[in-house]
Amino acid sequence: MRLCFLHILSACFVLSVLGCGDDSVESRIAIRGKVNLDGQPLERALIRFMPKQDGLVAVAVVNDGEFELDPLDGPSPGEHSVIVTPEEPEFEEAVELIQRGNRDPLSAKTVPVKYQKRGMLDANVVSGSINFFQFDLRSR
């Protein structure tokens, strides 16, 4: 009888730890937006939302100037530095670029270097709100 009671007590403890959500776990927020370079949609890049305080980082792919993250992959609420970097080409694409005369297909020519580090772009991700961001990058 005592052994059965200990098993039940242990099971209740495990269920109480696992069953109830942890309020300290941060939520993620759905976001979407556009990225333009010199007035034209940025063809292909990565966009990172880096929290300025504690929070969750989010990375999205920019295709034809647009990006979107659902609530499972989006950033946590709060202030973020936004970093835009070129997406590296696939191997075959890199070989083709080299054959066409591009000496460094991994270079950052598509995204000016100033946007590839913290400090140039910011975003405030808000809970319970539509989070749409537009970033207008300039090559000069």
What is the tally of structural domains in the chain? 1
Q: Token digits for 103?
A: 């000496």
Residue 56 belongs to a domain: yes
Largest Cα–Cα separation, the chain:
80
- Measured in degrees and rounded to the nearest 5, phi and psi for residue 33 equal 175, -170
Residue 33 belongs to a domain: yes
Residue 18 belongs to a domain: no
Task: Quote the pTM value.
Answer: 0.70
Bridge partners, 61 (sequence order): 46
Residue 22 belongs to a domain: no
Domain containing 71 equals 28-137
pLDDT score, position 11: 42
- H or E element at residue 37: strand 31-37
Per the document, the length of the chain is 140
Residue 68 belongs to a domain: yes
pLDDT score, position 85: 93
What secondary structure letter does DSSP report for 123?
Answer: E
Residue 88 belongs to a domain: yes
- Measured in degrees and rounded to the nearest 5, phi and psi for residue 67 equal -140, 160
Residue 15 belongs to a domain: no
Domain containing residue 79: CATH number: 2.60.40.10
Pairing of strands 132-137, 66-69: unpaired
DSSP string, 45-99: EEEEEEESSS---EEEEEETTEEEE-TTTSPPSEEEEEEEEEPPPPHHHHHHHHH
pLDDT score, position 98: 75
pLDDT in tens, the chain (140 residues): 444 444 444 444 433 434 444 333 468 999 999 999 999 999 889 999 999 998 899 999 999 999 999 999 999 999 999 999 988 766 777 677 778 877 666 654 578 889 999 989 999 999 988 899 999 999 88
pLDDT score, position 79: 96
SS3 132: strand
SS3 32: strand
